[in-house]
Structure 1
């Protein structure tokens, strides 16, 4: 059952002027101006959920902040425009029910604040509160009113009681906010949100009602997750790709980032999430409106078999030395699953990571197969775009963030630039 968000009363004679002003200044329109037109939902923003490790040896940066009768405010940027939106909130890895006392959304402004007049309550089956059972996910009622692609929105979740989050996305790529005690979901000023974090708690995704639109999912490891990209700048390669598509007039394609830093194709990790083979359906194929997927994964599979064992929490375990053949078999499984659902799947070559010779040989074999096998529907050659021609095992210096594995902002922009636009043109919604 859907329910419209509650809005301030607007006099009928002033509705036309108010709507015009809101469209110009806020790009967020009240239902009094336009109700959501019938249309299909499409995923417009996503962060792949991960389990928060409960290992007592986990360092602080692997521990989610405790939420003690407080409000979490998180910033999202839908990548396609539409007539309404809805939220997905996940307790997928929780061991106890998650109770939300209030949820709101509004246009973000500054540090934790909202643009006045844009705050909307979010309901679930017509109710302002919701309880999510362990392992569950809920979808909100639609919030009507036009949504502008890439306009920052603030989603606020009031969590009564003391909660230790077990479902998060560790690297948000931006700053999010936690309030002092109490329900501050309707705080427009942002003054209550003094604590800052760079992760996402519980928020699973945002759908937009957008007839004719469809979603491209970028799935992989830290290079897709945007490790070492400039914080708050939206400089991950899927962000750059979204901007590039819109600049080229391709405004009906949403770009969803399903990267998880440290993720592997073949093996789970206590810190880096479920293996991509196991999460592929949830994080890619089950996205609303998905029509194409770009897969970039495998470098951690190659590398972690050689990293030293650690006492206590060993994030790189299991230390399995994988072969090119094993990775190729994993890619073939992804291809079969995507094609069974009628989704195109594009293989991306593994980028240079300054690997020692034995590991580099596996990377080259994998890339040769991706380029020549014809198994994927198309190839996105990130390796060729970023490698140093004089030293092909390394990133070109201007594309190196400094750790010789993750691209710089310029490197991420180059990755977006080499995605052929023909891979998205002509795909129907």
Structure 2
């Protein structure tokens, strides 16, 4: 595992960028919002012959309850709503947040109504995004929270985060936002919709954004268990005594660096500003993407919905140019950029040569502020183009829970401890 300059001074090391001082803030100091949880949206293909996997549930006039796990604590929170891909207004008639009691149940004593300009309801125009008013609510790092939205009578889902690895809930018709019981929430779905961020007022804190494709998204990790590698990294922060740094996950399964997809979202070079740089409190990002760019060129075209379209061929030079665009955008905004090597995926010889060339550049170019070598952490020493058996979920591309933990373990714990010191 290689993280450039980690043996050097803290200022050049990953996560030491987020060391915080013991400054005392006045009671009337302005809020310092930091992303504590986030997800990235992708449009749903709009066509009549969608396979069941891409059909959104009915939500009009019902309550949608989503479960999120903030990675920072605080006494005040804001919820970020997005209608980025909407063609009509996003209408929510009532929105509440409460501590989850497991499944679709919520705790009544922690429930708080969320307002927008002092109003209980909100209508967000097509293409727009909006933060709620601050909500006085105790946010505990790592605990589950239920965000319940009573949807307008005409509301449809046209965008989502498709692979949430989290069961969320839809009620029977009516406003059930204040219900603590799970009885009304019989519908289940495993996507996130509209709620794309939760930030807390945390003056001495900062956030790290993990962005990439399905391996950052946690594809094939255990449902409802928070076993993605960013989750494991967040737990390592806490274990190292650092409770002032949030980890937010902006991975999208199937996402590519350079090409948009009908199913897998905008190319990362296009979504990076919105999904990372515009998040409050983000001071660094960890980039892991490129395998789908390499792979999709050889995927057969499909009739009907072809999620791999366009089947664009890429070279290592193409990917490197894309990385450089992302790095430049981050540095323009003062955000540190850390590169992760592409993990083994049992590729054909021609595609493997691209992966190896890209990884060599990531390790040696000094283009990033630091490098974490996920390839070295996961590969089989006897067959370096393959995942170790213990780290393979079974499809030879996505890690198992143990593999995702090994990725988080690739960050030296000593650096995490040092990042809490002055």
Please confirm whether the aligned pair reaches a TM-score higher than 0.5, indicating the same fold: yes
Matches within 5 A, 1:87-236: 87-236=79-228
Q: Distance in 2 between matches of 1:328 and 1:340?
A: 18
Q: Distance in 2 between matches of 1:423 and 1:247?
A: 9
Q: Distance in 2 between matches of 1:425 and 1:293?
A: 19
Task: Say which of 288, 293, 296 aligns to 2:285.
Answer: 293
Structure 1 match to 2:402: 410
Contact residue 225 and residue 258 of structure 1 kept, 8 A: yes
Task: Say which of 40, 46, 51 aligns to 1:59.
Answer: 51
1:383-408 CA distance string (max 9 Å, x none):
00000000000000000000000000
Change (3 A) 1:236 1:157: same
Q: Distance in 2 between matches of 1:408 and 1:232?
A: 15
Change (3 A) 1:424 1:305: farther
Q: CA deviation at 1:426?
A: 4.2
Q: Distance in 2 between matches of 1:43 and 1:276?
A: 20
Cα RMSD after superposing both structures: 1.6
Change (3 A) 1:340 1:420: farther
Farther off after superposition, 300-309 or 136-145: 136-145
Matched residue pairs, number?
Answer: 395
Contact residue 241 and residue 420 of structure 2 kept, 8 A: no
Structure 2 match to 1:253: 245
Q: Distance in 2 between matches of 1:135 and 1:331?
A: 27
Contact residue 377 and residue 410 of structure 2 kept, 8 A: yes
Q: Distance in 2 between matches of 1:376 and 1:135?
A: 32
Q: Distance in 1 between matches of 2:282 and 2:273?
A: 11
Structure 1 residue ranges without an equivalent (≥5): 1-34
Q: Distance in 1 between matches of 2:30 and 2:148?
A: 27
Q: TM-score, normalised by structure 2?
A: 0.91
Structure 1 match to 2:355: 363
Where does structure 1 differ by over 6 angstroms across 4 or more consecutive aligned residues? none
Q: TM-score, normalised by structure 1?
A: 0.90
Q: Distance in 2 between matches of 1:110 and 1:145?
A: 18
1:17-73 CA distance string (max 9 Å, x none):
xxxxxxxxxxxxxxxxxx997530000000101111112232111122121310000
1:101-129 CA distance string (max 9 Å, x none):
10001000122011231111111100000
Change (3 A) 1:119 1:304: same
Which secondary structure does the structure 1 equivalent of 2:377 belong to?
Answer: helix
Q: 2:340 matched to 1:348?
A: yes
